[in-house]
Structure formats: structure tokens, C-alpha cells
Amino acid sequence: MPDDMTTQQETPSSSTTTTRHVTLDLIRKRSEHNESLVSNLEEIALHQEELTSIGPVIGQTCGKTLRILLLQSNVISSMNFNDANDSLKYMKRLEYLNLALNNIRVVQCTGSGGNNDQTMVMDCCEFLEKLDLTLNFIDVDTLKESVDVLYQLRSLKELYLLGNPCMGVVTEKNDDDSSQIVANKIGAKKVNSGGGGDGKAVKGWSGCRPYIIARLPNLQILDGKQITRSERILANQKLSALIQELDVLAAKCRYEKQKKEETKKNENNKCTNGEEDEEYTEHTPESRIKLSDETYQQKMEKEQIERANQPRIRGEKEFEQEQRVATDKAREREERGDIRQCNEGKWVFQFNEEQKPGYVLLDISIQKHLSSSLIDVDIHPTYVSVVIKSKILRLILPAEVKAEESTAKRSTTTGHLLLCMPKVDPEENMIGIRASSKNRARLKKEEEDK
């Protein structure tokens, strides 16, 4: 191994991606099963939301009651039990956390100083029983630090690390030649199955499972497979050798990553003409973030188009502005002498001269919840003009009235508008009114006699 091999842990490369964390609107949107109540939420699924971090919002709003949190299929790159900007610090009652298909490279418990404070893990998620980290990026160089943090989770019984670079990926083949070909292609080694002639190609560290079993004594299930008593005894016997092997593999892994990063930079500097035959997308956190950014951008564009196609929701201020414009136009037209009866709003109205002799009563049916600020009344001696929600109701009166003595009242029960207008001549139309009143009385008496 080269002498200049570094033992410093590789940190994830910085990205210019905008941080997308869990927001209060997203929590309410995904908590319809709890009537969108956040304070007592116990379970929530936030998968496929293109999140880059958990953020502090979910922990501050429902962290004390949340028991199940599903965050799979995002691009979350941090899992820190002691970060003020991460909600895991506030989730005291969390029992199941699903972070499968994310970009997590290491499980941490670092404070503001950057040093691991593993004793704080018990205070953060002391009831966590199941943790799913399937298909993340935990490699052998960060395995020891991650297991040190998971060791503090005394309630952890079920752990999933399948698909991480640190776990051994076994490929079974029917013949030795095909197995060796596959092993050479993936850069793996060929091991014997023990009693048969079939070969197995293993990529990753084959001692990862026994190492985790020996380090986590309370663990009962690893990658969906029950941990037997004999398996734990064998793992404990090999622990010292596994630790030494892990230290060597971790140092080698860090060196290879550093060398790969330098090679990649040199290749990027050489590719100035931009001519390449084909571009292959590697399965790396950076490539997943890039794809996630493109998907997020497409979602945002789709939502903008949908919002643009939706009808514009007008508020009270918009209605009042339209009311003022319509009122000014109506009054300007009336000043010019252009008086025409109209009922633009199809309002139901009724004149009454019998209920109160000497007065003309006009009852207009208006919906109860319509604001009175959207009603404008203008009474003239021969006609009345009412603008209701930008719609004009203009009527010729059956008799000349005293406009200055007229009143307008609105019922708080029904919302009807009542205009009470005294006549200039109280006896106007009274002959016809008395005749129609007598006629109605006669018809009513005839119906009673029958």
C-alpha cells in the first residue's frame, strides 16, 4: 500500500443544489389521514418528494408524537442525531425510520464542534426499533463510525443495510467459468460455497454482516434475516480479526476514493472540446442529486402551468374595486339622462304600496352572506338605481317619491334589502290600490264559502 495513503475520512463533495427540506405545508398535505392536524401526528409518509435534507420543521411541529417516519426515495445526504438543523434530535418517540434509497454515507451524532457525541443518541431516538438504510452509500470507510452511533440505540432490533457498498453482494452462478467472468467484471473475488462446486462472486466486504452482529448485541434482524444464537457466537469470536480487517479496508477505500476524485478532475480538465462518444451515469450521490434536481424542476414547471390554468380567485378587495368602477359608470350614465330599466344580476324584487299607505316599498332579495360594502343605492324621484356586486338593478317607480326622505334597510336574518320611499302625493294610485284590495278580499271570501 502506498505511503501517502490518507486516513482522513472523505467528506461528501459540496453541491450547489438548493436545499429542499420538509416544510409545514408538505406535512399538512401528507397528513390528510389525521385531518391535517400536525400537533398529534404519529405517522407520515414523505417519499418521492425530492428532499435533500430532513430539516428542523417536522421535529419542532410533531417530533414529540411521531412514531413512524417514511422518507424513502429522496436524496437525503445527512443522518445526524445531534444536529439542531436535523429533526432526528427532537424525535423522542420514533420507533420506525425508513431512509431507503437516499444518499446517506455515514450515520453521525456530531454537534456544533464537529466531534461525535455518541452519548446523545439515547436522548434523541431512545425508542427506535427499526431502521431501514437500504440502497444508500455507506462504505467500509464510514462503517465503523456508523456502527458506533447505532450501538447507542439500545432499542434497535431490526436494521437494513442491503445495497450499501459495505455489504457483500453475492452472485450465484451454475458453473465456475461464468462465475469467474462475472466476478472479474464487477471487480470481485471468487469464493467457494463450502460444499458444492458452484461459485459465488462477492463484491464488498464479506465480513460486514458478522461485524455488525458482533457490534450490535441487541439486534435481532439484519437485512430481513433473523440472527441466530450460533451466528452471534461465531461473530463475537471473529470480532477482533474483523476489526483489523476493517481498518485495512477503510484506509484502502479512502485512498481509492481520493485517487478516483483526482482522476476525475484531470479528465474534466482534458475534455475541453466536449466531444464524447457516450456518457454513462454512475450510481453516485452526485448523479442522483442531479437527476433529482431535473425531476424537481419538471414538477415545479408542471405545478406552475396548473396554477396558471386555474381560475383566478378574487378576494374582497378585488370585488370592492370592481364595485367602485361599476358604480361610477352607472352614475355617470344616469347623469347624462340615459335611464333604462335593467336587472343585470337577475335579482328578485317586489313593489308594495298597500302595506304602508303613502309609501312605496321595494324589497330586493339579496343573499345573506353578501357584504353590504358591495351594495350601493341611489334613489331618485322617478326611479331607483342599485348596484349589487357590480351588477346594476335600475327600476322605474310606480309613483313619484321624496328621495331625500327615503331610507334603505337590510335584514340581518334574510339579507333582503328594503327601500322605504314616501310618496310626493300620498293619494297617488290609491284608487287602484283600494280596488285591488277589495277584489282580493272578495275572492278570499268566496273561497271560504266554498
What does the pLDDT look like over 3-47, one tens digit per residue?
343 333 333 443 456 788 899 999 999 998 888 888 899 999 999
* Mean pLDDT (the chain, rounded): 82
Q: Are 125 and 81 in contact (CB under 8 A)?
A: yes
Closest CA to 200 of 185, 183, 217, 215: 183
The SS3 call for residue 316 is helix
Q: Are 220 and 255 in contact (CB under 8 A)?
A: no
State how far the Cα of 261 lies from the Cα of 264, in Å rounded to an integer. 5
pLDDT per residue over 92-118, tens digit each?
899 999 999 999 999 988 754 555 555
Checking if the pLDDT of 191 tops 50, the result is: no
* Poorest-pLDDT segment among 86-90, 219-223, 405-409: 86-90
What are the CA-CA distances from residue 224 to residues 103, 139, 140, 162 (Å)?
21, 20, 21, 9
This prediction has a pTM of 0.62
pLDDT at 203: 64
Write out the DSSP string of 32-88. Answer: GGGTT--TT--EEE-TTS--S---SHHHHHHTTT--EEE--SS----EETT-TTSGG
